[in-house]
């Protein structure tokens, strides 16, 4: 077995959610890399890899196909994240010239990980759902399996009862948007806190159905936006299939069996440096009453946290022009309920920037806790 030369850069991605292709790694000053496409898909942008080199000189890592990634505006004013211990992630100097994304670092240790955003591993996902099931109020349900054979897991929190509302949360339809599962971790942490008044009051009023990871295959494969078959799950909600989109098919089947009084679909956005929501204003059945409740939810969230704003976001669909294949639109129309896509930034919240970490796992976690408060403030008005 040849002994690898000690002081040349070694790059690897053969681990949970790893994604990079090495083009040339002989020169630490110009390590040439490419991001791999999602399987059977044109989409790519998520990257996650490890650099090992005993020579702790300055390294420049050049992702040379960044200019054709899914959302290239996402590279403007973007800083990659890095970690030595895979727990604490920090922003590193990153430049984008329109084609190549260049990351520069003089490592403090021999091994360092780089990623598009703080990763959320499949093992952490398993810890999350199995710790949750220890709570007397929480039941872990397996709805079926993905194309790669992983569980599609749902947490039911609370007991159904007369007049109790059914509140659904889904996250990580787009697997590279890992902030979504950090958000859910914070949301569940509070919802299952028996000392938290808002959580306890909410569980007297509502039952929660939470799918922390809608796309475990894409997560493990290091995809940005699709499942194992290269399907964008957030375009499958009108006509899902067990052959292409079992993740959506099985969750949607449960929604139709149980009912939905409020729906939040948790995502991340590559370009906009803000937290914002995208509603279902373009649905055929959207009414002034729906708009009033939606506005109340947004105003309450603005009052709860300066991390949220409602001035900048996606263009609203014209009346009747909503895309019914999108989760928030299909659920909002099918169940005539309050339904929102919640978007967090890969970059930072420019209203409250933190230059050392940008938007982060911790801020996503805390935002999930704040959204629980917002749900508490509108729960009595769902179906009113
Ligand atoms: C977005 S949400 C769909 C677009 N919605 C509106 N109202 N413009 C998607 O799936 O493209 C969510 C995301 O990708 O994060
Ligand atoms: Zn998304």
pLDDT of residue 384: 82
Q: Alpha helices of 267-309 — where are they, by DSSP H? A: 288-304
pLDDT of residue 7: 78
Catalytic residue among 34, 194, 343, 381: 343
* Token pair for 167: 């509140």
Tell how far the Cα of 178 is from the centroid of ligand 2, in angstroms: 10
pLDDT of residue 3: 67
Between strands 338-345 and 31-34, the pairing is: unpaired
Q: Which atom of ligand 1 is nearest to the CA of 326?
A: 3
Tell how far the Cα of 222 is from the centroid of ligand 2, in angstroms: 15
Q: d(Cα 129, Cα 126) in Å, to the nearest integer?
A: 5
123 catalytic? Reply is no
Mutating to test ligand 1, I would choose from 245, 267, 283 the residue with most ligand atoms within 8 A of its C-beta, which is: 267
Q: Alpha helices of 306-355 — where are they, by DSSP H? A: 327-335
Ligand 1 is surrounded, with C-beta below 6 A, by: 174, 234, 267, 269, 278, 314, 317, 326, 341, 343
Ligand nearest the Cα atom of residue 326? 1
* Coil vs helix vs strand at 264: strand
Share of the chain above pLDDT 90, in %: 97
Write out the residue limits of the CATH 2.60.40.3120 domain(s) in the chain.
10-115
- Nearest residue (CA) to ligand 1, atom 6: 278
Tell how far the Cα of 94 is from the centroid of ligand 2, in angstroms: 23
CATH class entry, domain 10-115: mainly beta
Q: d(Cα 97, Cα 118) in Å, to the nearest integer?
A: 24
CATH of domain 122-381: 3.40.630.10
Tell how far the Cα of 315 is from the centroid of ligand 1, in angstroms: 10
Check: CB of residue 62 under 8 Å from CB of residue 30.
yes
Angstrom CA distances, 153 to 25, 132, 182, 224, 245, stand at 40, 12, 16, 20, 15
pLDDT of residue 185: 98
Q: Which residue has the tokens 């054979």?
A: 149
Regions in the chain scoring below 50 on pLDDT: none
Mutating to test ligand 1, I would choose from 265, 270, 278 the residue with most ligand atoms within 8 A of its C-beta, which is: 278
pLDDT of residue 46: 99
CA quadruple 227, 229, 233, 239: dihedral positive or negative? negative
- Nearest residue (CA) to ligand 1, atom 5: 278
Tell how far the Cα of 177 is from the centroid of ligand 2, in angstroms: 6
Write out the residue limits of the CATH 3.40.630.10 domain(s) in the chain.
122-381
């Amino acid at each position: 077995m040849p002994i690898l030369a000690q002081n040349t850069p070694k790059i690897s991605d053969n681990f949970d959610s790893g994604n990079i292709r090495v083009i040339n790694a002989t020169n630490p000053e110009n390590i040439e890399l490419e991001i791999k496409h999602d399987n059977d898909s044109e989409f790519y942008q998520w990257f996650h890899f490890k650099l090992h080199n005993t020579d702790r000189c300055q390294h420049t890592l050049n992702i040379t196909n960044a200019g054709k990634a899914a959302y290239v505006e996402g590279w403007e004013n973007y800083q990659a994240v890095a970690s030595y211990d895979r727990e604490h992630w920090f922003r590193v100097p990153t430049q984008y010239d329109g084609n190549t994304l260049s990351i520069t670092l003089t490592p403090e240790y021999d091994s360092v990980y780089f990623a598009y955003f703080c990763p959320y591993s499949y093992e952490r996902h398993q810890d999350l759902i199995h710790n949750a099931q220890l709570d007397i109020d929480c039941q872990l349900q397996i709805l079926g399996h993905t194309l790669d054979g992983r569980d599609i897991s749902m947490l039911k929190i609370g007991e159904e009862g007369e007049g109790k509302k059914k509140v659904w949360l889904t996250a990580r339809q787009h697997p590279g948007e890992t902030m979504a599962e950090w958000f859910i971790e914070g949301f569940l942490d509070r919802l299952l806190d028996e000392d938290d008044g808002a959580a306890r009051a909410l569980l007297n009023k509502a039952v929660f159905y939470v799918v922390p990871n809608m796309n475990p295959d894409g997560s493990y494969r290091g995809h940005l936006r699709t499942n194992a078959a290269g399907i964008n799950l957030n375009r499958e909600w009108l006509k899902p299939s067990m052959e292409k989109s079992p993740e959506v098919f099985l969750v949607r089947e449960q929604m139709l069996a149980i009912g939905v009084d409020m729906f939040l679909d948790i995502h991340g956005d590559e370009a906009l440096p803000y937290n914002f929501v995208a509603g279902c204003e373009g649905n055929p059945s959207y009414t002034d009453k729906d708009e009033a409740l939606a506005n109340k939810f947004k105003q309450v969230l603005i009052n709860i946290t300066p991390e949220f704003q409602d001035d900048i976001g996606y263009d609203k669909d014209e009346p009747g022009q909503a895309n019914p294949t999108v989760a928030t639109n299909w659920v909002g129309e099918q169940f005539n309920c309050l339904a929102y896509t919640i978007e967090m930034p890969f970059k930072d919240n420019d209203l409250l920037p933190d230059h050392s970490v940008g938007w982060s796992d911790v801020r996503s976690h805390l935002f999930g806790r704040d959204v629980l408060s917002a749900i508490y403030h509108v729960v009595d008005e769902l179906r009113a």
